[in-house]
A and B are shown apart, each in its own frame.
Chain A
Amino acid sequence: GQQLNQSPQSMFIQEGEDVSMNCTSSSIFNTWLWYKQDPGEGPVLLIALYKAGELTSNGRLTAQFGTTRKDSFLNISASIPSDVGIYFCAGQRFGGSQGNLIFGKGTKLSVKP
């Protein structure tokens, strides 16, 4: 199935550093979502973006819906050890609860205390 281009694939950072990851697509999406997945668990929604250009924050997390509707980024400020995990972007092409999600390949984040 189709996937989004998510980068970087992995990151090794020091506690306290800021993190940035992004997703791009050749197609337009109506919704961009960012999830975090811990080992052996399902994805947990971090931020949902519904409008082009939208910038949304959730604590130390900030995400933006690109103006072309083909990309999105997620920033994590002042990283802490519990930020470790795999972060996935997901795009939803069709509006409403009926649209299936297309996922990026994930960014694995490791944080050194």
Chain B
Amino acid sequence: GAVVSQHPSRVICKSGTSVKIECRSLDFQATTMFWYRQFPKQSLMLMATSNEGSKATYEQGVEKDKFLINHASLTLSTLTVTSAHPEDSSFYICSAAPLAGADTQYFGPGTRLTVL
């Protein structure tokens, strides 16, 4: 149980294009999902907290107009990187927190984004 999937697992795009990454909780419902970014040999840094049915909360320094987050249902959150630049190339990982009563977050397998 508690499986989180991400799609795609890898994506290569041209500079200036937009890329959408999906995060799904497969066997549980999640009111809250988190989006992290991880650069090579670095730790995970929280980008934003995504709440179902409401606006995401972004961490300081993360541009909300560049990283669009939509959490339309209790099992799906999407991150869209708009007008991607090479410096946006990174490993993007989501996590999902089950509904009230659980203190644990479950992580997806990550999406490797490469912007040419």
Seen from chain A, the residues whose Cβ lies within 8 Å of a Cβ on chain B are: 1, 3, 31, 33, 35, 40-45, 48, 50, 88, 92, 95-106
- Give bound CA distance, A107 to B92, whole Å: 20
Kindly state the interface size class of chain B when it binds its partner. 20 to 34
Asked if B109 and A41 make an inter-chain contact with CB atoms under 8 angstroms apart, the answer reads yes
Please name all residues of chain A whose beta carbon is closer than 8 Å to the beta carbon of B91 when the two chains form the complex. Answer: 40
For B43, list chain A residues within 8 Å (CB).
3, 88, 103-106
Q: Which residues of A contact B106 (CB under 8 A)?
A: 45
For the complex with contacts A50-B103, A105-B43, 14 further pairs of A-B residues with Cβ separation under 8 Å are A3-B43, A33-B104, A40-B110, A42-B4, A42-B109, A43-B44, A45-B107, A48-B103, A96-B103, A97-B30, A97-B100, A97-B105, A98-B32, A101-B44
Are B32's CB and A103's CB within 8 A? no
Question: Across the interface, which residues of B come within 8 angstroms of A102, CB to CB?
Answer: 46
Contact A105 B103, beta carbon cutoff 8 Å: no
